[in-house]
Structure 1
Amino acid sequence: MNRKDEHMSLAKAFHKKNENDFDQLRFVHHSFAEIAMDEVDIAADFLGFSFKQPFYINAMTGGSERAKTINQQLGVIARETGVMIATGSVNAALKDPALADTYQIMRHENPNGVILANIGAGLSLEDAKRAVDLFHADGLQIHVNLAQELVMPEGDRDFTGWLDNIEAIVSQLEVPVIVKEVGNGMSSETIEQLVWRGVKAVDVSGQGGTSFTQIENARRPHRELGFLTDWGQSTVLSLLEASNWQRDITVLASGGVRQSFDIVKALSLGAKSVGVAGTILNELMSNGVEATIELIQQWEAELKMLYTLLGKKNTPELLTTDLVFSSEISHWCESRGIAYQPFAKRNRQ
């Protein structure tokens, strides 16, 4: 089976709405909203883009005929809902131009939408330019996937030069660039390194959703690396790690997003928008295009309700919500020197 097809099959097989760290934080309920739901605007603005909803479809697949069908369907979903969407890693198409149409179908179906191309951190500036040109992309995701590569049977083993590649791409590419983890989260130190390299946006993509270490371990003959299934920090912890850098860099979030409630929690922790992949892929593969469009529309309606419940008229106002963390999250913050207590009383400021 094609490796990309294996990834999709395993992602579907492993997809479960498990508890994750989004369940470890709670909003403080205040009884008076003093707003009307009709006043609420859930739009999101970042990197020069503006969207009617504060979430997007994150990178998934490409590089096979089955993946082409998925990307064609995702293109239709993005067109009909107006969400931003990212292609899966286009590394395969850069190596073999015959595979390009398995990604380009997304642009064919969604000619006027915002589409991000996706490449690995080991690729060069020239590769980045080719990826953007090949898909008429509006922006670029650079994925960093150290843990996945190490568990992948045929993965890379030399990780030198990634930061240099990223710096060259960010400084010379003419479209916005987002550096994205693949489900292992980002630390404050990682974000600091990227800020110093001129990076303007990150997707912290934390642990708690699709685990690529689990997927790659399932492809190993002896499946001996199961202890790395939950490697890394969650999206919630990654957003807290990013909290001191949010004035210096645009922070996006993904990983373990199961529903609208997770989206509003991530936004309240400082994400400008929230990426969803596994939940969308599972809905698409289980129930089809129309059901996935309806799910996105349902989330939009639910978000308006949740903003109203929190007494917030727009997405930036979510940064004044009051949040209380579980002891496990609090312990991480204490160990890492992250001030978490102010989150519980932001509404008073």
Structure 2
Amino acid sequence: MNIDSNRKDQHVELAQAQYNQSSESDFQKVRFIHHSFPQISTQDVSLQTTLLGHKMELPFYINGMTGGSKKTKIINEKLAIVAKECGLAMASGSLSAAIKNPDLEDSFKVIRNVNPDGFVMANIGAHHSWENAKRAVDILDANGLQIHINAPQELVMPEGDRDFSMWLSQIEKMVQNVGVPVLVKEVGFGMSRETIEQLIQVGVTSVDVSGKGGTNFAAIENARRTTFSYDDLENWGQSTVVSLLEATELSNQVHVLASGGIKTPFDIIKALSLGAEAVGLSGQFLHMVVEDGPEKTIETIQAWKEKMISIMTLLGKKSVLELKETDLIFQRDIIDWCEMRGIDYRTFAIRSNHYL
């Protein structure tokens, strides 16, 4: 097994181990205000939204995870079956390994082979040239490109990158040249307002703020180290909730997606209510297809659909767009962040204007 394939298998094993460790998420620190009269029926609710211009019947998708080895090819095949049967968009894991070694392309191409008509995003790191990005898109015949940014992971990774000086200019070239819509995604460290502004300046129109709370790649890479530990970076970054609040003032300039620590239909609805247009899940889907298989995962997604409709009905909201008018209450540490960063958190508690 080559180095890249071995690393991909280690990532999956460590991500699965992380999943089974209980941790508090900032989504638990966000509450809806209950209003007693929803004044709608479940039949009034639509879960439709868009991702990179693609209309989706459900407001969540399978986020970039894996590929690059025999084991991960099997996982990608299972994920692609779920995507096809449920009509979910799907992103591949990073295609860097396949660009270095064409023998590994098969572990990614299985996504398109299983789901020839689905909406698929190819994933690649910001350090790559636009030519490599185009190659990644071509390998998957992809409908979009997902560019991941992951400086903390690279620095903790023993064999990771150490030069980030060209990332923004490389992203700008990809946006201009790859020929498909581009989504720039963090990998679990969250985005600040300043980061999103920089991405807008280089032409990016869609971002996934991907905050901490889910798969922790700093911890994964730290576990792979054989020399001194980087455990002080395992808590680096901001949560998905905080990152969505950071993006609030820029939502009229960029499409905002969310991922990171999102495991349940309730988490999805909260993320949408905080301003996300759609939500990506990776660790949760990885766990489900590995532990339960595609068939049971498909059944779970159908149950999620019913539950999300119920929650939206309770909130009196007929669409994903209307969820941005829900009334939200935050716990103190989220409020502290907002106060320090000049984010007007009080407006979130009175958005429905029921009594005005």
Give me the TM-score of the superposition, normalised by structure 1.
Answer: 0.98
Choose which of 44, 47, 50 in structure 2 pairs with 1:45.
Answer: 50
Q: Which amino acid aligns with 2:333?
A: E
Structure 2 counterpart of 1:255, from 239, 255, 260: 260
Task: Quote how far apart the aligned CAs of 1:173 are.
Answer: 2.4
Q: Which residue of 1 aligns with 2:326?
A: 321
- Matched residue, 2:183: 178
Aligned equivalents of 1:11, 1:210: Cα separation in 2: 6
Q: How does 1:23-172 map to 2 (within 5 A)?
A: 23-172=28-177
Greater shift in the superposed pair: 35-44 or 215-224: 215-224
Identity %: 53
For 1:250-289, list aligned pairs within 5 A. Answer: 250-289=255-294
**AA aligned opposite 1:199:** V
1:288 CA displacement: 1.1
Q: Which stretch of the first structure deviates more once superposed, 78-87 or 46-55?
A: 46-55
2:350 is aligned to: 345
Tell me the residue number matched to 1:6: 10
Query: What's the offset of the Cα at 1:222?
Result: 4.3
CA distance, structure 2, for counterparts of residue 48 and residue 213 of structure 1: 32
CA distance in 2, matches of 1:157, 1:45: 36
Task: Find out whether 1:245 has 2:254 as its counterpart.
Answer: no
CA distance in 2, matches of 1:112, 1:146: 34
Structure-2 separation of matches of 1:23 and 1:228:
23
Check whether the contact 2:25–2:261 (CA below 8 A) recurs between aligned residues.
Answer: yes
Q: Is the partner of 2:352 in helix, strand or coil?
A: helix
1:13 and 1:343 map into 2 onto residues whose CA distance is 36
**Contact 1:139 / 1:176 at 8 angstroms: preserved in 2?**
yes
The runs of at least 4 aligned residues of structure 1 exceeding 6 Å deviation read: none
Q: Which runs of 5+ in 2 are unaligned?
A: none
Q: Provide the rounded CA distance (Å) in 2 between the counterparts of 1:222 and 1:81.
A: 44
State the 1:252 CA deviation: 0.3
Residue 192 of structure 1 aligns to a residue whose secondary structure is: helix
Matched to 1:177, the amino acid is: V
Letter of the 2:104 counterpart: L
Gaps of 5+ in 1: none
- State how far apart, in whole Å, the 2-side matches of 1:177 and 1:301 are: 31
Indicate conservation of the 8 Å contact 2:327/2:350, yes or no: yes
Q: CA RMSD in A?
A: 1.0
Q: Does the CA contact (< 8 Å) of 2:122 and 2:145 recur in 1?
A: yes
Partner amino acid, structure 2, of 1:292? T
Quick one: distance in 2 between partners of 1:212 and 1:134? Answer: 25
Superposed CA offset, 1:302-329 (max 9, x none): 1100110100011100010000111100
Superposed displacement of residue 156, structure 1: 0.8
CA distance in structure 2 between the partners assigned to 1:55 and 1:200 by the alignment:
19
User: Secondary structure, in 3 states, of the residue corresponding to 1:232?
Assistant: coil
> 1:18: how far off?
2.2
Q: Secondary structure at the match of 1:289?
A: helix
Do 1:17 and 1:258's aligned partners in 2 also have CA atoms closer than 8 Å?
Answer: no
Query: Which of 232, 235, 256 is matched with 2:237 structurally?
Result: 232
Deviation of 1:134 after TM superposition, in Å, equals 1.2
* Larger deviation, residues 221-230 vs 76-85: 221-230
Is residue 330 from structure 1 mapped to residue 335 from structure 2 by the alignment? yes
CA distance in 1, matches of 2:247, 2:70: 38
Write the mapping of 1:182-221 to structure 2, written as runs, cut at 5 A.
182-221=187-226
